[in-house]
């Protein structure tokens, strides 16, 4: 890779559908800071072609004939210098999501998400964040929360300096797994206001994604 491309995110795509590979390739290369350095149509082919030193992130389908995404991740973890791994799927499946995250996967997103969200997820995954599609967040929060009830921020919880009452309200609802749109409806805010609050919360807690924020809060860190 030339020095001019040294800051670009190098992505390897894995999907058994050639149309999906083509669409994702176009999405990612349109971002400017992302380069698709290789593709594969199966987990077996991916294992043969992926060179960890030349790849920053593997963006892989979850359901593929012969070897699914979770199994591919397990084999990649056996190697040194494993690239970041982000799963992308058309189907929500809590068990698959938990399996991938438990193996160190950086996220679980849906192919139906807008291109800009897929691009942002790739960036966040490479920088160490954990990303989960808004549709799957509610289910994941139930696994993270210590009870079956929606997580509520305790009055005894200590907050970082600079947090506002409005941001605390948003934080409570984030910990229930609500999307920005749901939070906006619940609090009678505009979605742009919610996004602004979420961005400030990420900065206050020193995390790079909504999921990392929720995990940090629920774990009392």
In sequence order, the β-bridge partners of residue 35 are 10
Judging by beta carbons within 10 Å of its beta carbon (0-12, 13-18, 19+), is residue 214 exposed, middle or buried? buried
Give the model's pLDDT for residue 186: 87
The contacts of residue 69 (CB under 8 Å, 6+ apart) are 14, 43, 60, 61, 62, 63, 87, 89, 96, 100
In angstroms, rounded to a whole number, what is the distance separating the alpha carbons of residues 171 and 165?
A: 10
In this model, does residue 145 exceed pLDDT 60? no
The contacts of residue 64 (CB under 8 Å, 6+ apart) are 14, 15, 16, 42, 43
Give the model's pLDDT for residue 174: 83
Q: Quick one: pLDDT band at residue 214, thresholds 50, 70, 90?
A: confident
pLDDT in tens, 85-115: 999 988 776 677 888 888 888 888 888 888 9
Give the model's pLDDT for residue 221: 57
In angstroms, rounded to a whole number, what is the distance separating the alpha carbons of residues 102 and 92?
A: 16
CA proximity to 178, closest of 142, 128, 125: 142
Domain ranges for the chain: 3-132, 141-218
Domain 3-132 has CATH 3.40.50.150: no
In angstroms, rounded to a whole number, what is the distance separating the alpha carbons of residues 24 and 109?
A: 13
Q: Which CATH number fits domain 141-218: 1.10.10.10, 3.40.430.10, 3.30.2130.10, 3.40.50.280?
A: 1.10.10.10
pLDDT in tens, 7-21: 889 999 999 999 999
pLDDT in tens, 172-189: 888 877 778 888 888 888
- Please say whether the beta carbons of 38 and 83 come within 8 A: no
In angstroms, rounded to a whole number, what is the distance separating the alpha carbons of residues 204 and 141?
A: 21
- Please say whether the beta carbons of 57 and 122 come within 8 A: yes
Q: What is the mean pLDDT of residues 51-69?
A: 91
% of the chain at pLDDT higher than 90: 35
Looking at residue 112, the DSSP 8-state letter turns out to be T
């Amino acid at each position: 890779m030339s020095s001019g491309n040294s800051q670009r995110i190098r992505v390897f795509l894995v999907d058994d559908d050639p149309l999906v590979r083509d669409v994702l390739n176009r999405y990612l290369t349109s971002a400017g800071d992302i380069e698709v350095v290789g593709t594969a149509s199966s987990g077996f082919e991916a294992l043969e072609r992926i060179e960890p030193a030349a790849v920053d992130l593997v963006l892989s389908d979850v359901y593929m004939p012969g070897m699914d995404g979770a199994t591919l991740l397990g084999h990649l973890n056996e190697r040194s210098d494993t690239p970041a791994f982000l799963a992308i799927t058309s189907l929500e499946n809590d068990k698959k999501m938990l399996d991938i995250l438990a193996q160190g996967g950086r996220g679980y997103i849906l192919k139906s998400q807008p291109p800009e969200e897929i691009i942002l997820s790739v960036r966040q995954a490479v920088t160490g964040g954990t990303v989960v599609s808004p549709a799957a967040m509610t289910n994941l929060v139930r696994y993270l929360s210590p009870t079956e009830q929606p997580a509520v921020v305790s009055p005894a919880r200590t907050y970082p300096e600079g947090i506002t009452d409005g941001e605390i309200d948003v934080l409570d609802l984030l910990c229930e797994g609500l999307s920005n749109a749901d939070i906006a409806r619940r609090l009678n805010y505009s979605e742009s206001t919610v996004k602004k609050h979420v961005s400030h919360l990420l900065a206050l807690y020193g995390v790079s994604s909504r999921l990392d924020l929720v995990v940090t809060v629920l774990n009392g860190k």
